[in-house]
Structure 1
Amino acid sequence: MAVDSAGTGGWHAGEPPDRRARDFAGKRGYFLDHIRARQVTPDDFEQFDLVLAMDRDNLANLQRMCPKKHQSKVRLFLSFASSNDEREVPDPYYGGPQGFEHVLDLVEDACEGLVEHVREQLKHRG
Protein backbone atom coordinates (compact mmCIF):
# COMPACT_ATOMS: atom_id res chain seq x y z
CA MET A 1 0.00 0.00 0.00
CA ALA A 2 1.31 3.43 -0.92
CA VAL A 3 0.32 6.76 0.56
CA ASP A 4 1.46 10.11 -0.79
CA SER A 5 0.61 13.77 -0.61
CA ALA A 6 0.39 16.26 -3.45
CA GLY A 7 -1.14 19.63 -4.18
CA THR A 8 -3.32 20.70 -7.06
CA GLY A 9 -0.87 23.53 -7.71
CA GLY A 10 2.89 23.50 -7.86
CA TRP A 11 3.56 26.68 -5.86
CA HIS A 12 5.65 24.99 -3.18
CA ALA A 13 7.05 22.04 -5.15
CA GLY A 14 10.22 20.72 -3.57
CA GLU A 15 9.70 22.54 -0.27
CA PRO A 16 9.20 20.87 3.13
CA PRO A 17 5.99 21.40 5.09
CA ASP A 18 5.60 24.68 6.98
CA ARG A 19 7.76 24.77 10.13
CA ARG A 20 4.69 25.22 12.36
CA ALA A 21 3.00 22.20 10.81
CA ARG A 22 6.13 20.12 11.40
CA ASP A 23 6.41 21.34 15.00
CA PHE A 24 2.80 20.61 15.93
CA ALA A 25 2.83 17.26 14.12
CA GLY A 26 6.08 16.34 15.86
CA LYS A 27 4.48 16.93 19.27
CA ARG A 28 2.03 14.16 18.35
CA GLY A 29 4.72 11.84 17.06
CA TYR A 30 4.39 12.57 13.34
CA PHE A 31 7.68 13.46 11.72
CA LEU A 32 7.30 15.33 8.44
CA ASP A 33 10.86 16.47 7.77
CA HIS A 34 11.34 14.01 4.90
CA ILE A 35 8.25 15.22 3.01
CA ARG A 36 8.58 17.55 0.04
CA ALA A 37 5.70 19.19 -1.77
CA ARG A 38 4.81 18.01 -5.24
CA GLN A 39 1.97 18.60 -7.67
CA VAL A 40 -0.66 16.02 -8.57
CA THR A 41 0.12 14.23 -11.83
CA PRO A 42 -2.15 12.32 -14.24
CA ASP A 43 -0.43 9.10 -13.08
CA ASP A 44 -1.75 9.64 -9.55
CA PHE A 45 -5.29 8.88 -10.70
CA GLU A 46 -4.11 5.62 -12.21
CA GLN A 47 -1.75 4.59 -9.41
CA PHE A 48 -3.85 5.30 -6.30
CA ASP A 49 -7.14 3.75 -5.19
CA LEU A 50 -8.23 7.02 -3.58
CA VAL A 51 -7.33 10.64 -4.29
CA LEU A 52 -8.47 12.73 -1.34
CA ALA A 53 -9.03 16.47 -1.20
CA MET A 54 -8.86 18.57 1.94
CA ASP A 55 -11.50 21.07 0.80
CA ARG A 56 -14.14 21.59 -1.87
CA ASP A 57 -11.97 23.89 -4.01
CA ASN A 58 -9.27 21.23 -4.29
CA LEU A 59 -11.94 18.58 -4.81
CA ALA A 60 -13.25 20.53 -7.81
CA ASN A 61 -9.70 20.93 -9.16
CA LEU A 62 -9.03 17.21 -8.79
CA GLN A 63 -12.32 16.31 -10.46
CA ARG A 64 -11.41 18.52 -13.43
CA MET A 65 -7.96 16.91 -13.68
CA CYS A 66 -9.18 13.34 -13.24
CA PRO A 67 -10.02 11.08 -16.20
CA LYS A 68 -13.69 10.03 -16.22
CA LYS A 69 -12.84 6.38 -15.54
CA HIS A 70 -11.26 7.33 -12.19
CA GLN A 71 -13.76 9.93 -10.94
CA SER A 72 -15.02 7.58 -8.19
CA LYS A 73 -11.56 7.69 -6.59
CA VAL A 74 -11.78 11.43 -5.88
CA ARG A 75 -13.37 12.26 -2.52
CA LEU A 76 -13.21 14.68 0.37
CA PHE A 77 -10.80 13.46 3.04
CA LEU A 78 -13.15 14.35 5.88
CA SER A 79 -15.87 12.14 4.39
CA PHE A 80 -14.09 9.43 6.40
CA ALA A 81 -14.33 11.34 9.71
CA SER A 82 -16.76 10.16 12.34
CA SER A 83 -16.27 12.47 15.32
CA ASN A 84 -17.12 15.80 13.71
CA ASP A 85 -19.50 17.36 11.22
CA GLU A 86 -16.90 19.36 9.30
CA ARG A 87 -16.34 18.33 5.70
CA GLU A 88 -13.41 20.57 4.83
CA VAL A 89 -10.02 20.81 6.51
CA PRO A 90 -9.52 24.51 7.26
CA ASP A 91 -6.28 26.30 6.49
CA PRO A 92 -4.40 26.25 9.83
CA TYR A 93 -2.08 29.13 9.00
CA TYR A 94 -4.54 31.81 10.07
CA GLY A 95 -5.82 30.17 13.25
CA GLY A 96 -2.74 30.42 15.45
CA PRO A 97 -1.64 27.39 17.47
CA GLN A 98 -5.24 26.26 17.90
CA GLY A 99 -5.60 26.11 14.11
CA PHE A 100 -2.84 23.53 13.81
CA GLU A 101 -4.18 21.49 16.73
CA HIS A 102 -7.68 21.55 15.23
CA VAL A 103 -6.41 20.39 11.83
CA LEU A 104 -4.49 17.54 13.47
CA ASP A 105 -7.65 16.50 15.35
CA LEU A 106 -9.61 16.45 12.09
CA VAL A 107 -6.90 14.54 10.23
CA GLU A 108 -6.56 11.93 12.97
CA ASP A 109 -10.33 11.39 13.01
CA ALA A 110 -10.49 11.02 9.23
CA CYS A 111 -7.48 8.67 9.23
CA GLU A 112 -9.23 6.32 11.64
CA GLY A 113 -12.23 6.15 9.33
CA LEU A 114 -10.01 5.80 6.28
CA VAL A 115 -8.14 2.85 7.81
CA GLU A 116 -11.48 1.17 8.55
CA HIS A 117 -12.62 1.82 4.96
CA VAL A 118 -9.42 0.27 3.59
CA ARG A 119 -9.85 -2.77 5.86
CA GLU A 120 -13.38 -3.27 4.54
CA GLN A 121 -12.22 -2.91 0.93
CA LEU A 122 -9.48 -5.48 1.47
CA LYS A 123 -11.97 -7.94 3.00
CA HIS A 124 -14.15 -7.70 -0.10
CA ARG A 125 -11.19 -8.19 -2.45
CA GLY A 126 -10.62 -11.56 -0.94
Structure 2
Amino acid sequence: MDLPVERPITKENHYKVCFVCLGNICRSPTAEGIFQHQVEKRGLSPFFEIDSSGTSAFHEGESANSKSQRTARKHGITLHSKARRFKPFDLDYFDLILAMDNENLSNLKQMASEKHLEKIARMRDFDPQPGDGQVPDPYYGGIDGFENVFQIVKRSCTQLLDKLEPHIQSEP
Protein backbone atom coordinates (compact mmCIF):
# COMPACT_ATOMS: atom_id res chain seq x y z
CA MET A 1 0.00 0.00 0.00
CA ASP A 2 1.16 3.53 -0.76
CA LEU A 3 1.19 5.61 2.37
CA PRO A 4 -0.43 9.03 2.37
CA VAL A 5 2.74 10.94 3.28
CA GLU A 6 2.57 14.27 1.49
CA ARG A 7 5.28 16.01 3.50
CA PRO A 8 8.34 15.13 5.54
CA ILE A 9 7.49 13.96 9.04
CA THR A 10 9.07 16.39 11.51
CA LYS A 11 8.84 17.12 15.23
CA GLU A 12 6.75 20.20 14.41
CA ASN A 13 4.59 18.44 11.84
CA HIS A 14 4.17 14.97 13.32
CA TYR A 15 2.36 12.10 11.61
CA LYS A 16 -0.99 11.21 13.14
CA VAL A 17 -2.18 7.59 13.07
CA CYS A 18 -5.51 6.25 14.36
CA PHE A 19 -6.27 2.53 14.70
CA VAL A 20 -9.96 1.64 14.51
CA CYS A 21 -12.01 -1.41 15.50
CA LEU A 22 -15.63 -1.77 16.60
CA GLY A 23 -15.62 -1.16 20.36
CA ASN A 24 -12.07 0.19 20.88
CA ILE A 25 -11.33 -2.24 23.73
CA CYS A 26 -9.45 -5.13 22.07
CA ARG A 27 -7.83 -4.76 18.65
CA SER A 28 -7.35 -1.02 18.20
CA PRO A 29 -5.95 -0.31 21.70
CA THR A 30 -3.59 -3.25 21.16
CA ALA A 31 -2.44 -1.69 17.89
CA GLU A 32 -2.08 1.73 19.53
CA GLY A 33 0.00 0.25 22.35
CA ILE A 34 2.24 -1.84 20.10
CA PHE A 35 2.84 0.99 17.62
CA GLN A 36 3.58 3.45 20.46
CA HIS A 37 6.01 0.95 21.99
CA GLN A 38 7.80 0.43 18.66
CA VAL A 39 7.99 4.17 18.02
CA GLU A 40 9.47 4.70 21.51
CA LYS A 41 12.01 1.88 21.05
CA ARG A 42 13.28 3.56 17.87
CA GLY A 43 13.43 6.97 19.56
CA LEU A 44 10.80 8.41 17.21
CA SER A 45 8.10 9.53 19.68
CA PRO A 46 8.42 13.26 18.84
CA PHE A 47 7.46 12.50 15.23
CA PHE A 48 4.15 10.71 15.85
CA GLU A 49 0.74 11.11 17.42
CA ILE A 50 -0.94 7.76 17.96
CA ASP A 51 -4.55 7.09 18.92
CA SER A 52 -7.29 4.50 18.62
CA SER A 53 -11.06 4.57 18.43
CA GLY A 54 -14.12 2.48 17.65
CA THR A 55 -16.89 2.83 15.12
CA SER A 56 -19.42 2.17 17.89
CA ALA A 57 -19.88 3.80 21.29
CA PHE A 58 -20.57 0.54 23.17
CA HIS A 59 -17.56 0.87 25.48
CA GLU A 60 -16.86 4.61 25.48
CA GLY A 61 -14.65 5.60 28.42
CA GLU A 62 -13.62 2.03 29.27
CA SER A 63 -10.05 0.76 29.48
CA ALA A 64 -8.81 -1.94 27.12
CA ASN A 65 -10.21 -5.44 27.64
CA SER A 66 -8.45 -7.26 30.50
CA LYS A 67 -7.29 -10.07 28.18
CA SER A 68 -5.84 -7.53 25.75
CA GLN A 69 -4.06 -5.85 28.65
CA ARG A 70 -2.76 -9.16 30.01
CA THR A 71 -1.48 -10.23 26.59
CA ALA A 72 0.23 -6.88 25.99
CA ARG A 73 1.83 -6.89 29.48
CA LYS A 74 3.21 -10.36 28.77
CA HIS A 75 5.12 -8.73 25.90
CA GLY A 76 6.24 -5.70 27.94
CA ILE A 77 3.61 -3.29 26.63
CA THR A 78 1.07 -1.29 28.63
CA LEU A 79 -2.24 -0.28 27.06
CA HIS A 80 -3.17 3.19 28.31
CA SER A 81 -6.09 4.11 26.05
CA LYS A 82 -9.71 4.75 26.98
CA ALA A 83 -12.35 3.73 24.46
CA ARG A 84 -13.79 6.49 22.34
CA ARG A 85 -15.96 6.64 19.27
CA PHE A 86 -14.46 7.66 15.92
CA LYS A 87 -15.87 11.08 14.96
CA PRO A 88 -16.22 12.71 11.53
CA PHE A 89 -13.60 15.36 12.43
CA ASP A 90 -11.07 12.52 12.89
CA LEU A 91 -11.13 12.11 9.11
CA ASP A 92 -9.55 15.56 8.70
CA TYR A 93 -7.27 15.31 11.73
CA PHE A 94 -5.45 12.02 11.16
CA ASP A 95 -2.95 11.33 8.38
CA LEU A 96 -3.60 7.59 8.40
CA ILE A 97 -6.65 5.70 9.66
CA LEU A 98 -6.29 1.93 9.91
CA ALA A 99 -9.35 -0.31 10.24
CA MET A 100 -8.97 -3.71 11.82
CA ASP A 101 -11.47 -5.45 9.52
CA ASN A 102 -13.68 -5.02 6.46
CA GLU A 103 -16.76 -4.02 8.45
CA ASN A 104 -14.97 -1.15 10.16
CA LEU A 105 -13.28 -0.21 6.88
CA SER A 106 -16.72 0.06 5.30
CA ASN A 107 -18.04 2.11 8.24
CA LEU A 108 -15.13 4.53 7.94
CA LYS A 109 -15.51 4.89 4.18
CA GLN A 110 -19.22 5.64 4.59
CA MET A 111 -18.30 8.57 6.83
CA ALA A 112 -15.57 9.80 4.50
CA SER A 113 -15.64 12.19 1.60
CA GLU A 114 -13.56 11.54 -1.53
CA LYS A 115 -10.60 13.51 -0.12
CA HIS A 116 -10.38 11.22 2.92
CA LEU A 117 -10.43 7.86 1.16
CA GLU A 118 -6.70 7.70 0.44
CA LYS A 119 -5.86 7.89 4.14
CA ILE A 120 -8.12 4.96 5.13
CA ALA A 121 -6.75 1.41 4.90
CA ARG A 122 -6.79 -1.91 6.71
CA MET A 123 -4.20 -2.72 9.36
CA ARG A 124 -3.26 -5.93 7.57
CA ASP A 125 -2.43 -4.04 4.39
CA PHE A 126 0.93 -3.75 6.20
CA ASP A 127 1.10 -7.39 7.37
CA PRO A 128 3.76 -9.46 5.56
CA GLN A 129 1.40 -12.41 6.18
CA PRO A 130 -1.96 -10.72 5.40
CA GLY A 131 -4.17 -13.82 5.42
CA ASP A 132 -7.72 -12.67 4.65
CA GLY A 133 -6.74 -9.05 5.32
CA GLN A 134 -8.64 -8.79 8.59
CA VAL A 135 -7.54 -8.68 12.22
CA PRO A 136 -9.99 -11.13 13.82
CA ASP A 137 -12.03 -10.03 16.81
CA PRO A 138 -10.50 -11.94 19.76
CA TYR A 139 -13.37 -11.23 22.13
CA TYR A 140 -14.87 -14.73 21.95
CA GLY A 141 -11.66 -16.59 21.08
CA GLY A 142 -10.19 -17.10 24.53
CA ILE A 143 -6.66 -16.07 25.46
CA ASP A 144 -5.24 -17.71 22.31
CA GLY A 145 -7.34 -15.31 20.23
CA PHE A 146 -5.76 -12.34 22.00
CA GLU A 147 -2.25 -13.71 21.45
CA ASN A 148 -3.03 -14.28 17.76
CA VAL A 149 -4.27 -10.68 17.42
CA PHE A 150 -1.18 -9.41 19.24
CA GLN A 151 1.14 -11.20 16.80
CA ILE A 152 -0.80 -10.03 13.71
CA VAL A 153 -0.82 -6.44 14.92
CA LYS A 154 2.84 -6.52 15.95
CA ARG A 155 3.91 -7.68 12.46
CA SER A 156 1.69 -5.08 10.83
CA CYS A 157 2.92 -2.25 13.07
CA THR A 158 6.55 -3.15 12.41
CA GLN A 159 5.98 -3.05 8.65
CA LEU A 160 4.03 0.22 8.94
CA LEU A 161 6.79 1.90 10.95
CA ASP A 162 9.42 0.57 8.53
CA LYS A 163 7.52 2.30 5.70
CA LEU A 164 7.04 5.57 7.61
CA GLU A 165 10.55 5.93 9.05
CA PRO A 166 12.20 6.97 5.74
CA HIS A 167 9.84 10.00 5.66
CA ILE A 168 11.14 11.32 8.99
CA GLN A 169 13.24 14.45 8.73
CA SER A 170 15.25 14.93 11.92
CA GLU A 171 16.92 18.21 11.02
CA PRO A 172 15.28 21.13 9.18
| Residue aligning to 1:114 | 160
Q: What TM-score do you get using the length of structure 1 for normalisation?
A: 0.90
Cα separation, 1, equivalents of 2:130 and 2:113: 31
C-alpha RMSD of matched pairs (Å): 1.6
| Residue aligning to 2:82 | 36
Cα separation, 2, equivalents of 1:97 and 1:22: 11
Q: 1:14 to 1:107 in 2, by over 3 A?
A: same
Matched, 1:27 2:27: no
Percent identity among equivalent residues?
Answer: 38
SS at match of 2:139: helix
Structure 1 outlier segments of 4+, above 4 Å: none
TM-superposed CA distance for 1:94, in Å, is: 1.7
Q: What TM-score do you get using the length of structure 2 for normalisation?
A: 0.67
SS at match of 2:50: coil
Report 1 or 2 for greater relative contact order, CA contacts < 8 Å, sequence distance ≥ 6. Answer: 2
Structure 2: give runs of 5+ residues left out of the alignment.
Answer: 1-47
What amino acid maps onto 2:142 in structure 1? G
| Residue aligning to 1:2 | 49
Q: Please, which of 58, 62, 66 is the counterpart of residue 104 of structure 2?
A: 58
TM-superposed CA distance for 1:36, in Å, is: 0.4
Cα separation, 2, equivalents of 1:113 and 1:4: 18
Q: Please, which of 110, 125, 137 is the counterpart of residue 91 of structure 1?
A: 137
| Residue aligning to 1:15 | 62
TM-superposed CA distance for 1:84, in Å, is: 4.4
1:46-98, CA deviations, whole angstroms, 9 ceiling, x for partnerless residues? 11111000000000000001122111000000100113434100011222111
Cα separation, 2, equivalents of 1:39 and 1:93: 18
1:94-116, CA deviations, whole angstroms, 9 ceiling, x for partnerless residues? 22111011000000000011101
